[in-house]
Chain A
Amino acid sequence: MEVLQLLVSGLANGCVYGLIALGFVLIYKATEAVNFAQGDFMMLGAFVTLGLTNAEYMHLPFWLAAPLAIIIMAALGYLLDFFVLRHLFGQSQTAVVILTIALGFVIRFVAGVVWGHEPQTLESPLSIGDINIGGVVLGMADVAVIVVTVLLTLFLYQFFQRTKLGLAMQAASQNQMAAYYMGIPVKRVQGLIWGLSGATAAVAGILFASKGAIDPNVGLLGIKAFAAAVIGGFGSLPGALAGGLIIGVIEPFASRYFPAGYSQIAPYALLLFVLVVRPHGLFSQVRIKKV
Chain B
Amino acid sequence: MSNTVIELNGLTKRYGASRGVDNVSLEVQQGEVFGFLGPNGAGKTTTIRLLLDLLRPTSGHARLFGLDARAGSREIHARTGYLPGELGLAERMTVGQQLEYFGNLRGGVPRARVEALATRLDLDLVKPVRSLSRGNKQKVGIVQAFMHEPELLILDEPTGGLDPLMQQEFNALVKEAAAAGATVFLSSHILPEVETLCDRVGIIREGQLVAAEDVATVRQRAVRRIAARYRRAPVAKLVADLPGVAAVRVEGGTLHCTVQGDTGPAVRALATEDLLDLTVGEPSLEDVFLGYYGRGRSQ
A binds B: no
